[in-house]
Amino acid sequence: MADFGVASLVVAADLAPVEETWDDIPLDGSVLFGAVPTPDVVAPVVGNFSPALGSSIAANQPISFDVTDNEGLFTRVIIHARFADGSEEVVYNGDSFRGLYSGGASWFAIIALGLRFTIFRTGGWTAGSPIAVNVFAYDVAGNEAA
Check residues 101 and 4 and name the one with the higher pLDDT.
101
Fold of the domain built from segment(s) 45-139: Immunoglobulin-like (2.60.40)
List the single range of 30-34, 35-39, 113-117 with lowest mean pLDDT: 30-34
Contacts of 88 by beta carbon, 8 Å cutoff, 6+ apart: 80, 81, 82
pLDDT tens by residue, 44-72:
999 999 999 888 889 999 999 999 999 88
Query: If you average pLDDT over residues 21-28, what whole number do you get?
Result: 55
Angle value at C-alpha 115, between 113 and 116, nearest 5 degrees: 130
pLDDT tens by residue, 68-84:
999 888 999 999 999 98
What is the model's pTM?
A: 0.73
pLDDT at residue 101 greater than cutoff 60: yes
- In angstroms, the CA 107 to CA 23 distance is 56
Measured in degrees and rounded to the nearest 5, phi and psi for residue 63 equal -115, 130
Query: Would you place residue 12 in the very low, low, confident or very high pLDDT band (cuts 50, 70, 90)?
Result: very low
In SS3 terms, the chain reads as: CCCCCEEEEECCCCCCEEEEEHHHCCCCCCCCCCCCCCCCCCCCEEEEEECCCCCCCCCCCCEEEEEECCCCCEEEEEEEEEECCCCEEEEECCCCECHHHCCCCCEEEEECCEEEEEECCCCCCCCCCCEEEEEEEEECCCCECC
20-27 long-range contacts (CB < 8 A, ≥24 apart) are none
- In angstroms, the CA 130 to CA 55 distance is 9
pLDDT at residue 14 greater than cutoff 60: no
